Structure 1
């Protein structure tokens, strides 16, 4: 395990239950708001997976682990990624918070021993999605947006819910379209989000 992570968990006792251990990790670093959000995302992801016949257990695990990188403050994320060997894109240099998905993926693999590539992929791209996204990717992506604080999802929540009556992919595209339409107002428009938008637009 990378030293960055081993130092983070030195005081923690792990039970082997991902749900419990993920919440305990977040709470250890005073991230109770992220812990509450993660519980809600896991439940939402399970619901969406059940609705479209996807793997519910994958969805739940991804939901609990998708934001664990949030325990590393934004001011420290770039330095942490350099130590972890995580590539940093220009948009991520501008907005280091965007790195939490990549960090969470590596934490899931190294701390929680997650080997399932579907779970790791969904965690990594849950903020932005990416081109050629899988159903598991889109389920977590949509579940995350549905469970944001109402103050942050008011601009698109109705569109996502309406689009979900068609498919999870349509729900994902509804948010990607919102991002694209408002890209000039963002501090950084992540290239993965643009690639996902163009990909789903073509489909």
Structure 2
């Protein structure tokens, strides 16, 4: 598959609603396991925010929409799409999936809602000056993680949610820093500093 051409030439089915088009995209790209993860994240996200449930649900469904692009191709695809790439993302292209997903959401699904794009773009790393919407999607992705078994940080994270979403986010980020994180993305570092300051 030519990933760049696929993205640029993709068309929604005008006879279907957004949710059906999202499901079709995952089917067409053979990433239904990712769709199941995204469904779980969407359900968790709407539990975490009382104001933007519909938008958070859609952001949850779409946050990993770029999963069909193999990690080995993400740098090349990002360059071809003129997506700004940080040095850390060049070293560890897995991290580019959040920016690629945001690009696909705008290009293929015609969603230009700033809060939705922002949250998808930083759902893995969070970032400084994050919004409540960013934080809800970030946490939902960590609660409904895409690995087998129960996340090792989950119990502590859920307990911290009783205090605040910020405290819960710091639990996850501290877990990363204490367990051999490969690359420290600058957005993650700035989020950690902001959370610690709060």
Q: Could you state the TM-score of these two structures normalised by the residue count of structure 1?
A: 0.88
Aligned: 1:61 with 2:61: no
How far off is 1:176 after superposition? Answer: 1.3
Q: Equivalent residue for 2:187?
A: 192
How far off is 1:107 after superposition? Answer: 0.9
Could you tell me which runs of 5 or more consecutive residues in structure 2 were left unpaired when the two chains were aligned: none
The alignment's C-alpha RMSD in Å is 1.9
Counterparts of residues 34-53 of structure 1 (less than 5 Å):
34-49=34-49, 53=50
Q: Equivalent residue for 1:92?
A: 89
- Cα distance in structure 2, aligned partners of 1:18 and 1:172: 30
How far off is 1:90 after superposition? Answer: 2.0
How far off is 1:123 after superposition? Answer: 0.3
Q: Could you state the TM-score of these two structures normalised by the residue count of structure 2?
A: 0.91
- Cα distance in structure 2, aligned partners of 1:150 and 1:108: 24
Aligned: 1:174 with 2:171: yes
Which of 115, 118, 131 is the equivalent residue of 1:118?
115
Contact 1:121 1:137 survives alignment (8 Å): yes
Contact 1:44 1:143 survives alignment (8 Å): yes
Which of 70, 81, 101 is the equivalent residue of 2:78?
81
Which of 83, 108, 128 is the equivalent residue of 1:131?
128
Contact 1:145 1:153 survives alignment (8 Å): no
Could you tell me which runs of 5 or more consecutive residues in structure 1 were left unpaired when the two chains were aligned: none
Contact 1:122 1:141 survives alignment (8 Å): yes
- Cα distance in structure 1, aligned partners of 2:131 and 2:195: 11
Contact 2:127 2:187 survives alignment (8 Å): yes
